[in-house]
Amino acid sequence: MPDRVLTTKPLTTAGMVIGIGMGGFVDGILFHQILQIHNMLSTRISTNTLIGAKTNMVWDGLFHALVWIATAAGIIMLWKAVKRANVLLSGQALFGSTLLGFGLFNFVEGIIDHHILSLHHVYERIGSSIWDYVFLASGVALILTGWLMIRYSRSAPIN
């Protein structure tokens, strides 16, 4: 029987999409709900009033619906990947790609929502601040870490 050429691409693509969705959940759950340092449209609609807070809550819900769809899509892709015979099921590659997706979310969402559209800022109370750039930097760090983990998993010997 000839040796199959193993690939991590379907697995890491699924992991990346799951990471995008879960990165959105980290933002929404941690920053919007638990810490409440910003909400989805908190620059446009102030959260200082009950109406403003509840209006932002609706938009936070719609944001969560979008990242739920991304997570669900990633899970479907993961299911398809693990059923393929030529996919190397590397936990390190999967975790690395999830980190990469998490970083992609932080970077893209940070650029568009914080800097271009100014829908909200990381620490809304002080507006545009160093924290918006820390958020972007966290995205770059997560992308690099995830990418290195995927590369290392490919070069590691297969048992």
Residues in contact with other proteins by the rule CB under 8 A: 8-9, 12-13, 16-17, 20, 40-41, 44-45, 50-52, 54-55, 58-59, 62-63, 66, 70, 97, 100-101, 104-105, 108-109, 112-113, 117, 119, 147, 150
Provide the residue type at 3 as one letter: D
Q: State the virtual CA torsion across 104, 100, 66, 73 in degrees, nearest 10.
A: 140
Nearer to other proteins, 20 or 78 (CB): 20
CB neighbours (10 Å) of residue 114? 22
Nearer to other proteins, 1 or 145 (CB): 145
Tokens 């908190």, residue located: 42
* Helices within the chain (DSSP H only): 9-26, 50-83, 91-109, 130-155
Nearer to other proteins, 52 or 131 (CB): 52
Task: Dig out the tokens for 48 from the structure.
Answer: 């200082």
The alpha carbon of residue 68 and the mean position of all alpha carbons in its chain are separated, in whole angstroms, by: 11
In angstroms, give the least distance from the CB of 1 to other proteins.
27
In angstroms, give the least distance from the CB of 2 to other proteins.
25
In angstroms, give the least distance from the CB of 128 to other proteins.
17
> What letter does residue 125 receive in the DSSP assignment?
G
Nearer to other proteins, 113 or 132 (CB): 113
In angstroms, give the least distance from the CB of 132 to other proteins.
15
Secondary structure (3-state) at 112: helix
In angstroms, give the least distance from the CB of 156 to other proteins.
16
Task: Dig out the tokens for 71 from the structure.
Answer: 């997570």
Nearer to other proteins, 97 or 123 (CB): 97
